[in-house]
Amino acid sequence: MRLTRTLIIVLAITLLATLYVYQQSKVIHLAYRGQERLAFLERLVDEKNNLEYNLNRRMSLISIAGILQEGDFEWPHRKQLLSLSNIQQTPEDNKQIGKTESIFTRFFGLKSQAEATSLKPR
């Protein structure tokens, strides 16, 4: 009887110790995942800040004027420019260009109208 009681106690302690170790390993695993997500979010914020800085720095008129004055900027050659007069129009474009408005569509057609009014203080 003592042997079975001792075996039950040993098995219970082993089971509880195993569950405790499993629980602690899950806590550590979740902590690592949280740190990885936090590091990922920090990288995204840093990348966003770098992109905003680059856009603000490169798109300001002062920096564009500086690039033009330093000589790093090259104007494109004539061969690299696209002339719109040489582009062929499709038949659908020609139909839209040749479309005329009838009297009916002039009076009853939908046209957007905007009206400007001054703001009155309340």
Structure confidence at residue 51 (pLDDT)? 82
Model pLDDT, residue 96: 55
> Residue 111: what residue type?
K
User: Would you say the pTM of this structure is higher than 0.75?
Assistant: no
Weakest-pLDDT range from 10-24, 28-42, 44-58, 74-88 = 74-88
CB 37 within 8 A of CB 44: no
Region at 50 (left for phi over 0; alpha for psi -120 to 50; beta for the rest): alpha
C-alpha torsion sign, points 102, 104, 110, 116: positive
The pLDDT of residue 41 = 94
In the structure encoding, which two tokens stand for residue 7, read together?
């075996």
Which pLDDT score, from 0 to 100, does residue 9 have? 95
Question: Which is more confidently placed, 49 or 1?
Answer: 49
Phi then psi for 99, rounded to 5 degrees?
Answer: -70, 130
Asked if residue 37 has pLDDT above 90, the reply is: yes
pLDDT value at residue 75? 66
